Each structure stands twice: as structure tokens, then as C-alpha cells.
């Protein structure tokens, strides 16, 4: 990795912060180092960012986080059509929904997202418009907080241009609203009251919805670079008014406690979670992350979540996934969930039915010191 980021030229402070993260984690990440699968992807992502492609990351890197360009026969599309047929609405896919017929993609899009990448032609974008409309229709049916009508997709990162009543919208926005709603239905989040952590946040799509809807007192993202760099840069642009704790090395929580606890949004590498006080978080979230790790790292993270959380843990992962690089297969029953956790629900996801989502109540006492 070092030979890649030594190419940074000039005083660009944003790219220098990426280099600082990479240097720190290469030295201190230790047992939290990613699997071979993610190490290979991270190298591609770093090259793309160093080439200046951050402005369109929602058309490149995001396809390796939680964004899709599905085919018409994709399981998500089939599920959304079935959901729509229960309560059909022409308005959901009517003229209020618009999609630009020609949209630019950087050349790196095919390299980063191959082999599943489809270069969006005007015909494909007509279909993609319907896909987003069907997902919005489902989100409206689940949304008792009326976030679908209140929120719009930030233009930062260059998302595919899909509009509802001339407001920029996206599949990422609606998936995040559905995830927040799945949690809130049982947790009953009070505005600005909970400390929330997310492990492996991608570019910060779910953090955006939590913060925009004021459903947290504090949101802490723990991730490895370059994803940590992308989410930090993105959310600082989207929420310039918020107080941030930017990533930095520290050896003891007492060094940063006052600033950290008073910040609305904080960024850490996973190893830094070890410095936080026990039961610091009310809610811990991890989505499409654990199945890509070796089992010893999965066990380490779950133990860490147990120590840091006094409240709830929401997990959304593939029901079974094979990591071809490390030749590992991880399924729902492989996760070493502590016996002290009380399962509230565990179910197949309604849209991404190859995934499960589950919520556990985590004891507010115990879990280590």
C-alpha cells in the first residue's frame, strides 16, 4: 500500500488526510487488518481517490459499499414488484419521478465495480428510474416518521440523478430510511438522545439519515481507510454546521474525552474503539461488513460491541456469503452472538432477501471494563 500513497503530490489537505489514515492504520491496525478480499478492493479505491475521482464516488466506490445497478431480473427488483402489487400505485412510478437519460461515469467505474457493473445507457436508466420508484413506494409504506417526504439525497459525491418532485433522491436514501425504521420500530429512538456507532459505514449514507432526522445525540463511525476518509470528507461537507471529531491518533481516551464527547460526529479506526469507555453506546450498527471478515476478526468485533454497547445492536448481513479471495464462507449461524444478548427479531430482509437483519438487546451492565 505504501507505494500507492507515496504518489501524492502537492499540498492537497484532503488527500494528505487520507495518507495519514493509511500510514496510521498500516502501523497500528494490527489484529484489525482487513481480509485479503477487502485489502484488494481498498487498493483499487485508494488509487481512484488519489487520481482525483472523489467528486463522483457515488458512481464508483459506492458500488462496493451498498449501492446497486440491478438487472431487471435481480431479486431486489422481483421483491419490490411483489410489494408494489400488494398496494399498486401508478403515482409511484409516474411523472413525479424523473431520471436524467444521459449520465457521465468516470473510466474507473468499470474497473472498480467489475464484473457486476453495467454502464448505464439511456434505456437502462429508464429501468433504473422504475427501480428507485418501487423502492421509494416500499419506503413510504414503512415510514411512520415521514422521512421519505422530508429528506433528499445530497448532491455531494455525484449520485445518479433521479428526482422526485424535482428533489434529488436515491436508493441509498431509501435503504437507509428502511434501516432506521426497522430499528426505531422496536427501540423507539428519542430525538437527540442516543449515542450511535456504526462499524463499516461505507460513505456514511445511514449516518446522514440519522443526523438529518435528529435521531441521535452522537454518531460515531469506525472504519478502515480509505472508507473512513470518504465518510469523513463527505459528512463534513454535508453537515458543515456540526461539531466533528476528525480522525487522529491517540493512546488514551482521557487525551480526547472532552472534545470527543461534545462532538456530534466522530471518526475512528476500529482499533481506537478499544480506548472508549464500557457501555458508551446506546445503539451499535453494522451492515454488510462482518461476512467479509475472517472469523477470528468477527469474534473480536462482536466481543468489542458487547463491551461498548448498553442498549441495542442492529446487524444486517448476507445470510451466507463466500469470500473468494480468502476462501471463507460465513452464514447467519456462524456469528458468535453472546448468550446474554436478547434477540428481538431476526428475519430475511424484504428487499435484499439474500440478507438477514436482526436486532438484539445488549445488557447495560457487564461486557468488560
Q: Tell whether 46 and 86 lie within a shared domain.
A: no
pLDDT tops 90 at residue 164:
yes
What's the predicted TM-score (pTM) here? 0.93
Q: How many CB atoms lie within 10 A of CB 286?
A: 20
User: Within a domain: residue 297?
Assistant: yes
pLDDT tens readout for residues 67-97:
999 999 999 999 999 999 999 999 888 889 9
CA distances from 35 to 63, 233, 247, 294 (A): 19, 25, 22, 6
Domain boundary among 15, 42, 64: 64
E-state strands within the chain: 97-99, 162-164, 167-169, 195-199, 218-222, 244-245, 265-268, 281-287, 309-318, 320-323, 328-331, 342-348, 355-362
Measured between alpha carbons, how far is 75 from 87 in angstroms, rounded to an integer? 19
Q: Tell whether 283 and 352 lie within a shared domain.
A: yes
Q: Tell whether 310 and 275 lie within a shared domain.
A: yes
**Domain with 82 in it:** 75-105+121-175
Q: Which of 338, 306, 318, 288 is nearest to 38 (CA)?
A: 288
Domain boundary among 154, 175, 196: 175
Q: Tell whether 271 and 202 lie within a shared domain.
A: yes
pLDDT tens readout for residues 208-248:
999 999 999 999 999 999 999 999 999 999 999 999 999 99
Amino acid at each position: 500500500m505504501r507505494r500507492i500513497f507515496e504518489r501524492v503530490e502537492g499540498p492537497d489537505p484532503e488527500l494528505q488526510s487520507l495518507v495519514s489514515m493509511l500510514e496510521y492504520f498500516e502501523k497500528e491496525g494490527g489484529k484489525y487488518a482487513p481480509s485479503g478480499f477487502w485489502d484488494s478492493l481498498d487498493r483499487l479505491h485508494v488509487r481512484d481517490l488519489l487520481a482525483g475521482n472523489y467528486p463522483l464516488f457515488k458512481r464508483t466506490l459506492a458500488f462496493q459499499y451498498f449501492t446497486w445497478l440491478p438487472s431487471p431480473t435481480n431479486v431486489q427488483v422481483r421483491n419490490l414488484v411483489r410489494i408494489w402489487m400488494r398496494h399498486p400505485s401508478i403515482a409511484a412510478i409516474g411523472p413525479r419521478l424523473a431520471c436524467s437519460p444521459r449520465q457521465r461515469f468516470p473510466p474507473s467505474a468499470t474497473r472498480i465495480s467489475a464484473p457486476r457493473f453495467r454502464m448505464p445507457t439511456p434505456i437502462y436508466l429508464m429501468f433504473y428510474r422504475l427501480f428507485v420508484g418501487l423502492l421509494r413506494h416500499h419506503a413510504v409504506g414503512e415510514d411512520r416518521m415521514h422521512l421519505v417526504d422530508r429528506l433528499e439525497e445530497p448532491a455531494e459525491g455525484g449520485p445518479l440523478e433521479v428526482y422526485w418532485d424535482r428533489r434529488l433522491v436515491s436508493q441509498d436514501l431509501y435503504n437507509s430510511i428502511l434501516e432506521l425504521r426497522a430499528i426505531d420500530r422496536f427501540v423507539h429512538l428519542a430525538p437527540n438522545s442516543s449515542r450511535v456507532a456504526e462499524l463499516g459505514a461505507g460513505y456514511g449514507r445511514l449516518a446522514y439519515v440519522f443526523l438529518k432526522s435528529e435521531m441521535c445525540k452522537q454518531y460515531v463511525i469506525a472504519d478502515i481507510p480509505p472508507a473512513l476518509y470518504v465518510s469523513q470528507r463527505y459528512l463534513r461537507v454535508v453537515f458543515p454546521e456540526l461539531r466533528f471529531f476528525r480522525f487522529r491518533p491517540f493512546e488514551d481516551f482521557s487525551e480526547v474525552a472532552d472534545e470527543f464527547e461534545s462532538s456530534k460526529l466522530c471518526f475512528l479506526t476500529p482499533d481506537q474503539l478499544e480506548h472508549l469507555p464500557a457501555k458508551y453506546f446506546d445503539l451499535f450498527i453494522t451492515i454488510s461488513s462482518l461476512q467479509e471478515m475472517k472469523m477470528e476478526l468477527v469474534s473480536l468485533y462482536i466481543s468489542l460491541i458487547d463491551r461498548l454497547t448498553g442498549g441495542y445492536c442492529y446487524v444486517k448481513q448476507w445470510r451466507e456469503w463466500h469470500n473468494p479471495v480468502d476462501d471463507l464462507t460465513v452464514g447467519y449461524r456462524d456469528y458468535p452472538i453472546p448468550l446474554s444478548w436478547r434477540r428481538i427479531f431476526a428475519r430475511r430482509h424484504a428487499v435484499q432477501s439474500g440478507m438477514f437483519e436482526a436486532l438484539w438487546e445488549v445488557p447495560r451492565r457487564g461486557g468488560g471494563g
